[in-house]
A and B are shown apart, each in its own frame.
Chain A
Amino acid sequence: MAASESTDLFELRRRPPQEKLVDQGFRQLSIVLASLVGLVLLGILLTVLSGSREAMARFGLRFLVISDWDPAGDTYGAFTAIYGTIVTSILALVIAVPLGVGTAIFITENLIPLRVRQVLGIMVELLAAIPSVVLGLWAIFVMEPFIRPGLDVLHQFLGWLPFFSTVPLGPGMAPAILILVVMILPIITAISRDSLQQVPPELRQAAYGVGTTRWGAILQVMLPAAVSGITGGVMLALGRAMGETMAVTMIIGNSNNFSWSLLAPGNTISSMLANQFGEADGFQVSALMYAAFVLMLLTLLVNVLAQWIVRRLSLKYS
């Protein structure tokens, strides 16, 4: 009698078959949806590769080092665009890293009231939300005319260097670099701030305990402890800068003629794609796809490296 009572109390609910079916189906569905990410990546790779087959067969690796881009004569070389992509993104990074890390330190330290720091942080993050095309519009009509006198001075005094050898006449690599700085600054600041906040407070207290100053602690304890996260963020920003399209397209001048000068109009791979893809046909599409493939490889490399750095060098203190 007692035994039957206990089974009445704790009888396992029998799962109806349709419930099991729904459970199974839902699981399968979520697996299918998750695997779409892989399919999309594979699709991107295959599309770009198969589109660029013709150009690859015809130009091979010479495509990377010759700089004539001539749709009329059907000869294509992407060196101008590759040079533009790498130079603009690296120089933008060189300017943006000190600015971004400095800002991140400023809004994690208690130099000014918390409210002001929070507002500063939100403002930098909102900067990332401004569409690139709006920044491009602003760059064309406001920033470029404003900085041109400064670029003129650069040309007058440093014109003997090949990098400043042309008279700035409007759109060019230099304004493109500056607008890229604006676009990647929020990424660097946000990630540096997160990395700095993750450094355990004990480290800082220990540094103060042995008698250092605030900046002694920041430069020799906090930054070295946060360096992996910051480096990862910088690499992500580099990837973003390489692929950034609209603002750069609108301000870089889109010239296919190669020039070492930063004051001359130039081109990046993404701005070349944005400009020519809509009107291209035949073999030019294939050449553009080849350029897109190069861009994809570059950004892929940088992004995978960023993830690897973050994972490999991640905080030893957490």
Chain B
Amino acid sequence: MALSATPAPGSTSLGRSLHFRASLPRNRWNSFFSLLAAFFAVIAVIPLVLVLAYVLIKGGSLISAQLLTDLPPPPGLDGGGIGNAILGTVVVTLIASLVAIPVGVGGGIYLAEYSRSGWFAQFVRFGTNVLAGVPSIICGVFIYGLVVSTRIFFGQSYSAMAGGIALSVLMLPTVIKTTDEALKLVPQELRWGAIGIGASRFVTITRITLPAAFTPIATGVVLGIARAAGETAPLIFTALFSPFWPEGVFNPIATMSVLIFNFAIMPYEAQNALAWAASFVLVVMILGANLFARWVGRFTRA
């Protein structure tokens, strides 16, 4: 009997068959788990499809030249558009980019070029990760306390400037991280080559490494800008909202995201419709930027 535990070569009657048998419990479990994973993947994709469908159909049907250029109507009235909010989103995002891109790229250059280790670089990396995890509404509270309540801009409280700065705080970690990662991808030989023919550190970085890393940096920055353009929480009490055309950067300003928030919770159908229209414009802009960045990013690895 002890011998039967080690069957002779070629014998299948004593040992187990090596042929696949679908009826084995383990093979049944295998198919079950595969189906379950497929089911989960479908569930994960459904929200995107549904949200896109609703935004494109409900919002897209409202889009007209008038909608893109008019001011929003007073509460309860029909008609009007979201022109000031589109302009406001551009203004606020532009301010955020003007602050966050130079600071972020500079910080990234420090991390990648000057200090690969050491406590300060580690602290900056850690801080960047922590800052990326700070909830966006806390950035709003910070800028409220720093800019809005202290009225440092000509005694103005709520302003486009404050909103832009709040968004720049959100963009900063993204820009630093992408710059750091992109510069690390540049081959060390390029730097040695530049230094070898007598270029200074400054020239090496600005003429050789930064241009070599331009595409991934630009990709990351575009994604950061797209993210900032869709942010709402930090703008609610920094840029506030305005039903009129922007009156300079030191006054409250309308943005699409705050318009969606304000108009979605109003009990008027005209306002709700404008919220859908603004969602359409915002989603098309952001998804467009994402797909564009993805397309540009394909050239990086080639």
Contacts and interface: CB of A to CB of B under 8 A. Distances in A.
Interface stretch (A160-168, A236-244, A256-264): A236-244
B199 to A, nearest CB: 10
A134 B38 contact: no
B33 interface: yes
B261 A213 contact: no
Contact of A106 (B37, B107, B137): B37
B200 A300 contact: no
Nearest to A100: B44
Nearest to A272: B137
Contacts of B229: 131
Given A130-B48, A246-B261, A277-B237, A295 B200 contact: no
B279 A124 contact: no
Chain A CB within 10 A, most for which of B29, B229, B257, B261: B261
Interface string B84-104: 000000000000000000111
A128 B22 CA distance: 39
A80 to B, nearest CB: 17
Contacts of B127: 37-38, 41
Contacts of B264: 133, 136-137, 140-141, 250
A73 interface: no
B163 to A, nearest CB: 12
Give the dominant DSSP class at A's interface. helix
B37 A250 contact: no
Contacts, number: 268
Contacts of B254: none
A43 B142 contact: yes
Interface string B132-174: 0111111111101110010000000000000000000100110
A102 interface: yes
A23 B202 contact: yes
Interface stretch (B70-78, B185-193, B243-251, B282-290): B282-290
Nearest to B169: A40
A287 interface: no
Nearest to A288: B141
| Contact-residue size bin, chain A (C-beta under 8 Å from the other chain) | 35 or more
A236 B133 contact: yes
Contact of B200 (A15, A30, A250): A15
B215 interface: no
B232 A215 contact: no
A13 interface: yes
A177 to B, nearest CB: 14
Contact of A127 (B47, B126, B139): B47
Contact of B34 (A31, A215, A219, A273): A215
B41 interface: yes
B69 interface: no
A107 to B, nearest CB: 7
A206 interface: no
Interface of A: 13, 15, 19-20, 22-23, 26-27, 29-38, 40-41, 43-44, 47-48, 50-51, 98-100, 102-103, 105-107, 109, 111-112, 120, 122-124, 126-127, 129-138, 140-142, 182, 185, 189, 213-216, 218-219, 236, 239-240, 242-246, 249-250, 270, 273-274, 277-278, 285, 288-289, 292, 295-296, 299-300, 302-304, 306-307
Given A122-B294, A295-B137, 17 more contacts: A37-B172, A40-B169, A41-B131, A44-B142, A127-B45, A132-B231, A133-B260, A133-B279, A134-B279, A142-B54, A213-B27, A215-B34, A244-B135, A277-B140, A292-B141, A295-B135, A296-B138
